[in-house]
Amino acid sequence: MNKVSAKSAEGETHSKLILVGEHAVVYGKPAIALPFPLKVKALIKESFGIIKFKSAIYTGPLEKMPGRMKGILECIKETLNTLDKPLEGLSIEIESAIPLGSGLGSSAAVATAVVRGLFSFFHQKLSQKELFYLVQIAEEYAHGKPSGIDMAAVSSRHPILFQKGKDITPLISEAPLFIAVAHTGRIGDTRRAVENVRKNYLKDGEKVKKSLDKIEEITDMAEKALLNGDINLLGKLLNDNQQELIALGVSDNGLNALIDTARSQGALGAKLTGGGLGGCIIALADNLEKAKVISKALMKAGALESWYFSTCQDTLYFPER
Ligand code: PMV
C-alpha cells in the first residue's frame, strides 16, 4: 500500500461507492460501501524550505492553498504535528484519478493517501484510529458533519457495513458483484443534499423518518443478499433504495435518466450513489459482459464518464466509445 525509499515515500488508496444507505447513515442507520478501483497516490519527497504542494487543482506553497482546500491543509498540518515534525522540508504531490465532488469519496481518499504517505516518509506506523482522526479533519471541511463512511470505505479493501459509533464490519462474499457506474457530468453537492434532508426532516419529520427507517430495512436485507450472493434480490433492493432517495429529495432528473437507461439495458437494479444532486449512479449487472453493455449505453445516454468492474478484481474497465 505504501512504498518507502531513502528520501521519498508514497501513500495510496482508492475511491468508494455507496451500495445502499447513504443519507440514512448520517442519522445513525447502517450503510454498505464498496472499494471502487479509481486510484489516488500521494508522493512525498524531501525538499528545501517551505512545503510545496502539487495537484491538478493547485500547485504552490502549502500555506497559500485556496480556501476550498483548507481541509487537506489542516489535515497535513495536524499529521506533521502528530509526527512531531516541522512544517517544512517536503514536497507533496497528488496524482488522482477520482473526479471531485462526484460521490466517489475524493476528499477522503486524497487525505488518506497523504496521511499514509507522510507516515511512510517518516517511517512511522499508522493505526486505523490515527488515520481516521487525521482524515476526519479534511472531511469536516469538505462535508460539514460527515458520517465517516467515506473514510472507512476508502481505506478498506473489502465491502463494509458501516454504522456511526459501531465497529466496521467487512462483508466478504464468495460471489462477486458486477457493477457499472456513470457520472452525470454535474458536480454532486453532498453538503446541500444533506442539508435538504435535514430541512425536510424539520418540515415533515414523519415522512422523512419513514424513508430513513425503510432504508435501514433495505440495508439489513442487502447485507444478507450480498453475503448470500443473491444478486437478484440485491438489485431489487437498490431500486427500492432509489425510491426512498427520491422521496428524501436528493435525486434529480439527470440521475433519474441514467438510472432509467441502466434499468432498460437489463440492470438488476440501479440508484444514485453518494450525496446525490448530481454526481454518479451505480447499476448492478448479472455478469461483467452485461455491466459493459450497461456502461456503454450510459455513455450513449450522455454520461460524462462510465466505468464497469467486478468486485473480485482490482481492475477498472472503460467502455469503448
Ligand atoms: O461524499 P459523498 O457524496 O459520497 O456522500 C457521503 C454519503 C452521505 O451519507 C450523503 C453523507 C455522509 O456523511 O454519510
Q: How far is the CA of 123 from the centre of ligand 1 (A)?
A: 32
pLDDT computed for residue 271 by the predictor: 98
Q: Is the CB of 274 under 6 A from ligand 1?
A: yes
Q: Other CB atoms closer than 10 Å to residue 89's CB: what's the count?
A: 13
CA separation for the pair 113, 38 (Å, rounded): 13
List of E strands, the chain: 3-5, 8-20, 31-46, 52-54, 59-61, 90-96, 160-162, 169-170, 178-183, 269-273, 280-285, 305-310
- Whole-model pTM: value is 0.95
User: Does residue 23 have its Cβ closer than 6 Å to ligand 1?
Assistant: yes
Q: Give residue 2's pLDDT.
A: 54
105 lines ligand 1 (CB under 6 A): yes
The whole-number pLDDT of residue 302 equals: 96
User: Which atom of ligand 1 is the closest one to the Cα of 21?
Assistant: 9
Say if ligand 1 is within 6 A of residue 29 CB: no
Cα distances (angstroms) measured from residue 280 to each of 60, 147, 186, 268: 31, 19, 9, 17
pLDDT along the chain (321 residues), means of 10: 70 98 97 97 96 96 94 97 97 96 93 98 97 95 86 96 97 93 92 92 96 98 97 98 97 97 98 96 98 98 97 91 70
Note the pLDDT of residue 6: 53
* Atom from ligand 1 closest to the CA of residue 250: 10
Ligand 1 within 6 A of 149 CB? yes
124-158: string of b/e by CB count within 10 Å (b at 16+)?
eebeeebbbbbbbbbbebbbeebbbbbbbbbbbee
Cα separation of 212 and 210, whole Å? Answer: 6
45 alpha carbon to ligand 1 midpoint, in Å? Answer: 32
Residue with cell 504531490: 93
* Cell, residue 70: 483548507
CA atoms of 137 and 208, how far apart (whole Å): 29
- Tell me, what's the pLDDT at 197? 95
Distance (angstroms) between ligand 1 centre and the Cα of 172 equals 23
Question: If you measure from the C-alpha of residue 156 to the centroid of ligand 1, how many angstroms do you get, rounded to a whole number?
Answer: 16
Report whether 139 contacts 146 (CB < 8 A).
yes
Active-site residues, by number, are: 150
pLDDT given for residue 144 in this prediction: 72
Tell me if residue 54 falls in helix, strand or coil.
strand
